[in-house]
Amino acid sequence: MPIGWLWRALPVALLTFLLAGCNLADEQSVFAPVGPVAQEQLGLFMWTWYLSIPVMLLVGGVLVYVIVRYRRRRGDDSIPGQTHGNVLLEVVWTTIPVIIVILVAVPTVRSIFQLQTFTEAGEGDVAVTVTGYQWWWKFEYPQYGITTANELHVPVGARIVLDLQSADVLHAFWAPRLGGKVDLIPHQDNQLWLQADEPGVYHGQCAELCLGAHAYMRFRIVVEEQDEFEQWVQSFQEPVVQTVSSDQRVSQGRTLFAQKGCIGCHSLDNYAEGVSYGQPGFPELTNFGLRHTVGAGVLDATLENVAQWIMDPQTVKPGNYMPTLWAEDDPNREEEATAIAAYLLSLGADQASDRAQTVAMGGN
């Protein structure tokens, strides 16, 4: 029975079937590119994938043929001809891989110079300085003088030129649907450019082991229309910290945010000059109400989740540096955390309608 043939055919059939039938175009999938960089990279993969099919068929076919044709028959102890080689054949099958390699090498080299040549951010490009911290992301926009954390907003169709820095150990910035990753290395200026041609919210993740909560070091890229993006930038340039709210809970949360020491680390005003709270080495929370997630992409930013995160960060994201502010048996724990969460979510809430819109667009 040609078991070997099944062997060869199965993986091929399986992958072809999966590529065709299964939903491989998921949130963080290489198969769902939304920009030219990811598109080019996927194209290279598909090209080698198609090239590899004849190779697999050749090797598999010969193997199956050999196994069937030259298997030992019962009682046959004959000694086959002791061929040591065949120059012509060997030349031919040295040439085959050479040709394949050339077919792969040409588009590869072209794409390297297209995608990896160092560029300055020019007119119409958005420059972002990305700094990796254990275990969150800082995004600075030198063009606009604003800073945010864990959620990168960019306009649709623009080239995003990222300067990659690390504050501690190695990280890697990877948003598969926009394009491949580049490492963040201390004392090294790395660069990556990406582009998204469809609005939406795209997943990203750290791809270089950074110990502790490495698995939870995620981020989102929010791709918006140009005017929405500008509005977002503006909201960061003039953040509203003292939200006037009739909601009792929000006011309580604002007080607790100071009392519990949150302001020791977290800025709410984009590190504006003359304001004493917050430190640059910690995620800022300006306009937190616009965020999609909390804890660097770990949970969706609902009131419940944010409260959960504030209350017990080590359960939500084991290993991270957020202190636990309440004793386990503190009766006020849940109430106070919810109040802080409500306060944070109220920041930038005047833009909440825009946010809903973006979520609707990126909700695939």
Partner 1 sequence: MASSTTAPQATLFMRPTQRTGLASWLTTVDHKKLGILYILSSFVFLGMASVEAFIMRLQLMRPDQQLVSPDTFNQLFTMHGLTMVFLAIMPMGIGFANYFVPLMIGARDLAFPRLNAFGYWVYSLGGLMIYSSFFLGGAPDMGWTGYAPLTSLSANPGMGVDFYAFGLFISGIGTTVTAMNLIVTIVNMRAPGMTFMRMPVFVWMMIITSFMIIFAFPPLTIAFVQIITDRTFGTLFYVPAAGALPILWQHLFWIFGHPEVYIIILPAFGMISEMVPTFSRKPLFGYPVMVLASILIAFMGFAVWTHHMFTTGLGPVVNTAFSLTSFIIGIPTGVKIFNWLGTLWGGNIRFTTSLLYAIAFIITFTLGGITGIMVAMPTFDAQVHDTYFVVAHFHYVMGGGALLTFLGAVYYWFPKFTGKMLDERLGKVGWAFIVLGFHTIFFPQHLAGLMGMPRRIQTYPAGIGLELWNFMSTFGTFIMGIGLIIFLINVIQGFRSGKPAGNDPWDARTLEWATSSPPPYYNFATQPVVNSLDAFWAYKHPETLNVEPIDPRTAGREYDAGGIHIPGQSWWPLLASVMIIVGSYGLIYDNWILAIISGFAFIFTIFAWAFEGVGGHHVHPELQGGAA
- Smaller CB distance to partner 1: residue 182 or 268? 182
d(CA 348, CA 350): 5
- Smaller CB distance to partner 1: residue 44 or 241? 44
Query: What are residue 162's phi and psi, to 5 degrees?
Result: -100, 125
d(CA 203, CA 25): 12
Which class for 146: exposed (0-12), middle (13-18), buried (19 or more C-beta within 10 A)? Answer: buried
d(CA 176, CA 168): 24
b/e per residue 13-28 (b: at least 16 CB within 10 A): eeeeeeeeeeeeeeee
Paired residues of 130 in beta bridges: 139, 164
Q: Which residue is listed with tokens 């999938």?
A: 29
- Smaller CB distance to partner 1: residue 27 or 350? 27
Interaction with partner 1 in 282-301: which residues (CB under 8 A)?
Answer: 298
Pick from 21, 75, 80, 274: which binds partner 1 (CB under 8 A)? 80
> Among 153-161, 183-191, 227-235, 334-342, which window interacts with partner 1 (CB under 8 A)?
183-191
Which H or E element spans position 309? helix 303-311
8 touches partner 1 by CB under 8 A:
yes
Interaction with partner 1 in 45-74: which residues (CB under 8 A)?
Answer: 45, 48-49, 52, 55-56, 59-60, 62-63, 66-67, 70-72
13 touches partner 1 by CB under 8 A:
no
- Smaller CB distance to partner 1: residue 71 or 353? 71
> Among 99-107, 121-129, 227-235, 302-310, which window interacts with partner 1 (CB under 8 A)?
99-107
Pick from 6, 14, 303, 352: which binds partner 1 (CB under 8 A)? 14
Interaction with partner 1 in 237-266: which residues (CB under 8 A)?
Answer: none
27 touches partner 1 by CB under 8 A:
yes
d(CA 23, CA 248): 46
Closest separation in Å from C-beta 197 to partner 1: 17
Q: Is the dihedral of CA 154, 156, 161, 162 positive or negative?
A: positive
5 touches partner 1 by CB under 8 A:
no
Pick from 74, 75, 84, 353: which binds partner 1 (CB under 8 A)? 84
Contact between 138 and 145 (Cβ < 8 Å): no
- Smaller CB distance to partner 1: residue 72 or 246? 72
- Residue 290, Cβ neighbours under 10 Å: how many? 24
2 touches partner 1 by CB under 8 A:
no
Pick from 9, 158, 169, 240: which binds partner 1 (CB under 8 A)? 169
Interaction with partner 1 in 186-205: which residues (CB under 8 A)?
Answer: 186-191, 203, 205
Contact between 296 and 282 (Cβ < 8 Å): no
Pick from 125, 212, 225, 354: which binds partner 1 (CB under 8 A)? 212
